[in-house]
Structure formats: C-alpha cells, structure tokens
Structure 1
Amino acid sequence: MSKTIRMLNKDDYPQYEAMETGIEFDYIAHIFDRLATGDNHLYGLFLDGRLVSVGGYSIYAGSYAMLGRLRSDLRFKGNGFSTEVVSYILNEVFKLNGIRWVGANTQEHNTSAQRVLEKVGLNPYITLHGALTKDTAALESGAEPWQPVTSLQRKKDWLNQAYIRTGDIFPYECYYPFPASAELFQDEAIKQWSFYENDDKTRFVITKYDQKKYHYLHAVYPWHDLTSQPGLWETIASDYRKLLQQTDDETYIWMDLTKEEAQTLPASHQFELPSPWILYGKEN
C-alpha cells in the first residue's frame, strides 16, 4: 500500500470530486481552482494513487497562516489520515519565512476536528459566535452616532492600546480572528477600515467591509459593554445603511461575540447566533 502527501493543483479536481465526504453542498468544489493557487494551498493524502484526505492553508497579513478545508473520504474514516495531512501541512507552513502564528477554526460541536488539531499541537484560544443581524433597533438608544476618526496615527494608537499591547484576539476578517501583533495591522488595511470614537474618547469601534458568499459590515468593538454605550449601535447601523445602498445581494452586520457577550444581548435582539467557533493556534 503506497501512501503519499503532496500539494494539489487544478488537475486534481476529478480526484477531489470522486471523494465521498458526506457534504452535500461543498464550497471547496466550487472554488477548487482558487484554493489551489496564490496565497491558498491545498494538500492531499493519496492511498495507492487515490485521494482520500485533504487539507489546506491560507496566509493573512504575511505573518499568519490559517489551516482548514479538512475533508476526508468517509470510506477511509478512522485511519488517522486527517491528522497526518494536518501535521504535514503544519510542518510545511512553519518552514515559510515570516510566519509567526498558525491556527485553525472549528465549530464547537465538531469534536473530531478538535481532536485532530490538539493531536498536532494546536491549543484553544477563544470561542466566538459569528453573530449576524440586519436589525439593531433593540440595541439603539437614540443617541447620536460617534465621530469618525480620520487620522491614521489616531487609528494606530487605538489599535496599539486595545490589541497590540494586550495581544487580544482581533477579528481580522469574518471567520478569521488572530492574536494581535503589529504585523497584523498594515497601513493600507487600516486606511480602508472606518474608525469611530465616542465624545469622551474612551471607546472606539471599527467597521469594515467583507464578503464571504454574502456581504458583511464587519463591526469590531474591543470592550464587553456593547449593550450600554450610547451611540455605538447608531454608528454601526448608519454604516450598515450605507453598505446596503452599494450591494444588491444578502447583506448583514457581522460581529464576533463571546458566549458571555451574547448573553448580555437584550431579549428582543435580532442577532442570529449560529454554533460558535473555537480558534486554535500555535506560535512559531
């Protein structure tokens, strides 16, 4: 029995299509070409030339790698192939120049994936809901929206205070939070993010556009008092209305919330709170 692991390319798609993963609507199948090129990489474990397990990674901000896209042929389940693939990918990523951290996200109920990540040495960092809504009325107080921050230096000062000094988890994109470092905050990205601060300059919020199938206004607020700050949700709602005018497809507000933060939402809130994700990771 011959077993090999190698990087996949677009010509491997028929092999991927032949796998029995049990996933009815698999997004990987629709974007296979994109996931096998550029900053995205897919690897496959082949058994006697047959693809039986897949995993991959993507690079963010030049210093962070996120593992994922784990798929296995159910006919070969229980042989440890997923762990082999992830271990191989992890070693390959740590060979790259400049990578300071490698992580992976898995849903809280996916205990099999959690076992794989723990076997390869990744540790749990935080559990987050990717909370979605189109209606923030239950959280609004009638206060005026916060003032925009236009100075790049002021934006960097806020990020340094709230994230870089503390190393707290920063939601870099929808689905992709990372432990903060200076490398995570490149000037070009910061310029594209909208910052707002309250009148007494003790709080700020970031809004930024993202698209993962749907359109999102990704709101980032680094404190736990998100239900008691006048003007916070008016600020987010205002930017959401602006985004709605620019999109013609499903559009949501996305905010990453811990379980504790989700429990502080008022009973009348309109957030969808899907199964939370656990962020695993390891420093290089």
Structure 2
Amino acid sequence: MEQIEEHYMIRRITAKDQTAIENMDTGLESDYIKMVFPWIVKEDVLYGAFIGETLVGLIGYHVFEGKFVVLGRLRVAVPYRKQGLAQFLMAKAFNEVKTNKDYRWVGLATQENNLAVHHIARHLNMSHVARFHACQLHEEGKKALEAWCRNEYEAQPKKAWTRLRRPEDKRALLQSLEGQATSLGMFPYQCYYPLPYDQELFSDAYLDQCEAWVSGEECILFNADTKGVDYLHLKYFGERLFEQPDIWSIVLDHAEKYNQTIWIDVNQTHYDLMPKEWFTVDEPWHLYGQYLKTEPHLTP
C-alpha cells in the first residue's frame, strides 16, 4: 500500500477534472460516469489517483439520509489494473467513512461476475447482506403484462386498494413489513442503491417521494427515480407479485402517465417464478455492508 501511495497522487476530484474523467481509459464502450459526471461530482465524494495529469483510478461514495454510505464509482484505467490500485482506493474510501461519527452503515453493491469487488468487500470485512435481481420491464413485456392484467380481471374481481398519503402512515407500514423484508434481505431505496432494511432510512422527505398502496395484508410502494432513464422503482415484499393484476394495474397506470420504465428488485424465488421474457435482467447483484455503530432497528 505504501508503494501505491508513492507511485500515485491521490486527491479529491472536482468539477475541474471533467476532461481527465472523459479521457480516462476505462475500457467501457459507454461509461455512465463520464455521461453524468457534472451531477455525480456535486452529489458524491470522489477521489482520483493520478500520474501527472492523467487520471488512472477513481473511487467515491454517496451518503443517504446523512448516515448510510455506499461505496462505488470504482474505476481503474486498463493499463493499471491488477496492481492493487482498486483495493487501495476502496480501502481509502472505506477508512475515511469509518472516521465519521455521523455515519451508521457502509456498504457496496456489485454484480455477481465482478469477482474483484467481491474479494475487496470480503477483504474489508463486510458482511454479505443480500443477493437479488434488478429487473426492468421492456416495451414488449409491458404489452404482455397489460394483456395478462386484462385476462386476469376476467377471471377474478378487482380488490379495493387504499392509498396512504401521510409519511407517518407509510413509515408504520414499512415498520410492519420487517418479517416480509427478510425474503429480499435489503431495502430497495433507489435503483442501483440497495440499503439495509433500517427504519432510520424512512425520513419524511423520502416517504413524501413514495406512493404507498395497501389492500388487506398486501402492499406496494414506488417512487420516481432517474438514472439516465426515468424509472418507476417498485418495492414489494410479499410472495404473490405475479398473481395480482391489481398491483400491476396501479403501477402500469402511473408509469404510463409519467412515461416511466418500471424497475423492480426481486429475490431468487420471485425471479424463478416471474415471466423473465418481459424484463431486461443483467447479472445478479450482491449487497455487502457493515454497521459502524449500533445494530439496526429493523433486522431482516
């Protein structure tokens, strides 16, 4: 590690580094960090490893609700890989986060085939929290889902659903789902950002962004999210997702109104049962993390 520090200049990334970001050889045909850098540099803490004026490594972290930190934005230029730089940068960000007494939890999410990041997470003594699939409903899938809803409505009556509007009612609902949340293992806070199922995430500001609907023991939550694409991020913790046209009717109507693509994170059980041909699904995701202070109020 000392040799790495001697070889590279490590410093905070600012908006003035946009050219260095754009010129970095990440080996990716389309790198979203380069496309949305002006937004990321305002929202995240970013560090770069430089040789002269050339950016060869990148790491960052984002803080949610002032307490939950997600490490990410990890990039190493192609010629400088397999030299320990990625692990060094991740450890630097991790150690910086641990020194902040306000932070409660730190973690990272990575896809199943990214073996290097799995190794780094274990090296940092993070616990494996959850494995899940991120699914986006594509246009042909949307048509098929709409047709399925119409057919199902002919076979079963519609149920009455009630919308919750007050943050305190939405919070009480989420607190009541502790047992059901175990099946997913995490809380799908945003697209690409799973977090531990912890009640300190459920601020009034966040809950104001979420719509919540209940019918008996069934419920759904969703919120608008933009990650290059406008998404409707659906959160469901029950066991009958693809047995209830009522749920999908509510979600499809909202997504159509605001021209959103539906995104849902599911566990392996739901994934095995779902009509996969309706969705775009990449490699499974894994969430790792570590509590820095006290235990969570809600433990999945």
**TM-score (norm: length of structure 1):** 0.87
Q: 2:227 aligns with which of 199, 212, 223?
A: 212
Asked if the contact 1:107/1:278 (under 8 Å) is kept, the reply is yes
Aligned to 1:153: 168
Asked if the contact 2:181/2:187 (under 8 Å) is kept, the reply is no
Aligned to 2:136: 132
Aligned to 2:3: none
The residue identity in structure 1 corresponding to 2:266 is L
Distance 1:280 1:209 in 2: 25
The 3 A distance-change label for structure 1 pair 226 and 5 is: same
The residue identity in structure 2 corresponding to 1:271 is F
Aligned to 1:277: 285
Asked if the contact 1:163/1:170 (under 8 Å) is kept, the reply is no
Distance 2:53 2:158 in 1: 63
Asked if the contact 2:131/2:284 (under 8 Å) is kept, the reply is yes
SS at structure 2 position matched to 1:144: coil
Q: Structure 2: which 5+ residue stretches go unaligned?
A: 1-5, 293-300
The 3 A distance-change label for structure 1 pair 51 and 153 is: closer
More displaced stretch, 201-210 vs 113-122: 113-122
The 3 A distance-change label for structure 1 pair 48 and 230 is: closer
The residue identity in structure 2 corresponding to 1:7 is R
Asked if the contact 1:144/1:234 (under 8 Å) is kept, the reply is no
Asked if the contact 1:65/1:101 (under 8 Å) is kept, the reply is yes
Moved over 6 A (4+): 164-167
Aligned to 2:238: 223
Q: 1:50 deviation in Å?
A: 4.5
SS at structure 2 position matched to 1:117: helix
Aligned to 2:25: 20
Asked if the contact 1:2/1:48 (under 8 Å) is kept, the reply is no
Distance 1:150 1:106 in 2: 34
Aligned to 2:268: 259
Residues 211-241 of structure 1: CA deviation (Å, up to 9, x unaligned): 1111111111111221224522222222222
The residue identity in structure 2 corresponding to 1:213 is G
Residues 109-133 of structure 1: CA deviation (Å, up to 9, x unaligned): 1112222222222232112221111
Aligned to 1:7: 12
The 3 A distance-change label for structure 1 pair 29 and 153 is: closer
Distance 1:110 1:173 in 2: 21
Asked if the contact 2:239/2:270 (under 8 Å) is kept, the reply is yes
1:56-135 correspondence to structure 2 within 5 Å: 56-133=60-137, 134=139, 135=142
1:147-186 correspondence to structure 2 within 5 Å: 147-163=162-178, 168-186=185-203
SS at structure 2 position matched to 1:11: helix
Aligned to 2:295: none
The 3 A distance-change label for structure 1 pair 31 and 239 is: closer
Aligned length: 274
**TM-score (norm: length of structure 2):** 0.83
Residues 156-211 of structure 1: CA deviation (Å, up to 9, x unaligned): 2111111499675111111111112221000122122111111xx21110121111
Aligned to 2:207: 190
Distance 2:107 2:114 in 1: 16
Distance 2:114 2:79 in 1: 19
Distance 1:81 1:43 in 2: 12
Q: 1:155 deviation in Å?
A: 1.5
Alignment RMSD: 2.3
The 3 A distance-change label for structure 1 pair 266 and 71 is: closer
Q: 1:5 deviation in Å?
A: 2.3
SS at structure 2 position matched to 1:255: strand
Q: 1:63 deviation in Å?
A: 1.1
Q: 1:36 deviation in Å?
A: 2.5
SS at structure 1 position matched to 2:280: coil
The 3 A distance-change label for structure 1 pair 30 and 258 is: same
Asked if the contact 2:20/2:53 (under 8 Å) is kept, the reply is no
Q: 1:101 deviation in Å?
A: 0.9
The residue identity in structure 2 corresponding to 1:175 is Y
Residues 30-63 of structure 1: CA deviation (Å, up to 9, x unaligned): 23333233x3111122346643211111111111
